């Protein structure tokens, strides 16, 4: 379902961040991407989330070759991805609930309004956001905003969740609440790719792990 072949990434005027990366994931897979700071985790996840394009190599998502896909195909790929970027990327001038609704509506989901409201309510409850429902995202703390980003990815029931250090700004309670939600989504068939440097979660929720080192991806 997800196929990276010989993928390299080089930012302008720099050494290669990713070097000949090969990766293959099936529907329902769960993969951790670990590696030190600056190892290229975010670069890899940005490629998976279609936020950036590779310098070399091919990426296939849900049967579409990214380089060859039309704007329409690219759009339908993005509609089934739940992306939690390291830099959050919420719309600051919208409320928490509006940001969640955006994800839901743009996803072209077939779920009814009532179901989606129930789902949003549940997610906000689990992530401690219920009291912030109508707060502008600009006025949230970093940790709260990160939880909104997680809820935004989960609310559309995506085919794949690409999470870039989603627990980075969380205390233990929310870290495990998040992991619980991720595992549940995974059991429902969602593919998960989580970049993290938190050894604790990798140890406690044991899944396939890939290590990024000097641009190479080694899947254990």
Ligand X SMILES: Nc1ncnc2c1ncn2[C@@H]1O[C@H](COP(=O)(O)OP(=O)(O)O)[C@@H](O)[C@H]1O
Residues that bind ligand X (CB under 6 A): 11, 14, 17, 35, 37-43
> Is position 51 an interface residue for Mg ion (rule: CB under 5 A)?
no
| Closest residue by Cα to residue 209 from 78, 88, 129, 195 | 195
Nearer to other proteins, 149 or 192 (CB): 149
Q: Which is nearer to other proteins, 31 or 74 (CB)?
A: 74
Site string for Mg ion, 160-189 (x = CB under 5 A): ------------------------------
DSSP H or E segment with residue 2: strand 2-10
Q: Does 86 bind Mg ion (CB under 5 A)?
A: yes
Taking every pair of Cα atoms in the chain, the longest distance, rounded to a whole number of angstroms, is 50
- With CB under 8 A as the contact rule, the residue among 24, 27, 63, 106 that binds other proteins is 106
Closest approach, Cβ 127 to ligand X, in A, equals 23
Nearer to other proteins, 92 or 142 (CB): 92
Residues 23 to 42 in contact with other proteins, rule: CB under 8 A:
none
CB of 29: closest distance to other proteins in angstroms? Answer: 22
- Please give the helix or strand (H or E) that residue 20 lies within, else none: strand 16-25
Say how many Å lie between the first and final Cα of the chain, rounded. Answer: 19
Question: Structure tokens of 122?
Answer: 């549940």
* Kind and range of the H or E run holding 218: strand 216-219
Distance in Å, CB of 35 to ligand X, minimum: 6
Smaller CB separation from other proteins, 72 or 199: 72
Instruction: Return the residue of 79, 135, 186, 209 that touches other proteins, per CB under 8 A.
Output: 79
Buried b vs exposed e over 117-139: b needs ≥16 C-beta within 10 Å? eebbeebbebbebeebeeeebee
Could you give the CA distance from residue 59 to residue 5 in angstroms, rounded to a whole number?
7
Q: What is the length of the chain?
A: 220
**182, two tokens:** 């991720």
Q: Which is nearer to ligand X, 39 or 124 (CB)?
A: 39
SS3 85: coil
Binding of residue 92 to other proteins (CB under 8 A): yes
CB atoms within 10 A of CB 210: 19
Q: Of 89, 130, 139, 141, which lies in the binding site for other proteins, with binding defined by CB under 8 A?
A: 89
List residues near other proteins by CB under 8 A. 49-53, 75-81, 83, 89-94, 98, 101-103, 105-108
């Amino acid at each position: 379902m997800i196929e990276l072949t010989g993928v390299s990434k080089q930012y302008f005027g720099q050494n290669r961040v990713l070097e000949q990366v090969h990766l293959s994931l099936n529907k329902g897979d769960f993969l951790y991407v670990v590696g030190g700071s600056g190892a290229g985790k975010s670069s890899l996840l940005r490629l998976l989330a279609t936020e950036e394009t590779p310098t070399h190599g091919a990426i296939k998502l849900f049967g579409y070759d990214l380089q060859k896909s039309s704007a329409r195909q690219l759009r339908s790929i993005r509609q089934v991805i739940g992306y939690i970027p390291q830099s959050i990327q919420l719309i600051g001038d919208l409320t928490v609930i509006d940001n969640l609704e955006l994800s839901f509506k743009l996803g072209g989901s077939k779920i009814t309004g009532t179901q989606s409201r129930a789902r949003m309510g549940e997610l906000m409850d689990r992530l401690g956001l219920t009291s912030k429902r109508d707060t502008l995202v600009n006025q949230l703390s970093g940790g709260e905003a990160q939880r909104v980003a997680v809820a935004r990815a989960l609310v559309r029931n995506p085919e794949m969740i690409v999470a870039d250090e989603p627990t980075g700004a969380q205390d233990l309670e929310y870290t495990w609440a998040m992991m619980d939600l991720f595992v549940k989504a995974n059991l429902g068939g969602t593919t998960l790719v989580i970049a993290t440097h938190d050894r604790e979660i990798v140890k406690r929720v044991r899944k396939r792990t890939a290590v990024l080192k000097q641009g190479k991806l080694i899947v254990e």
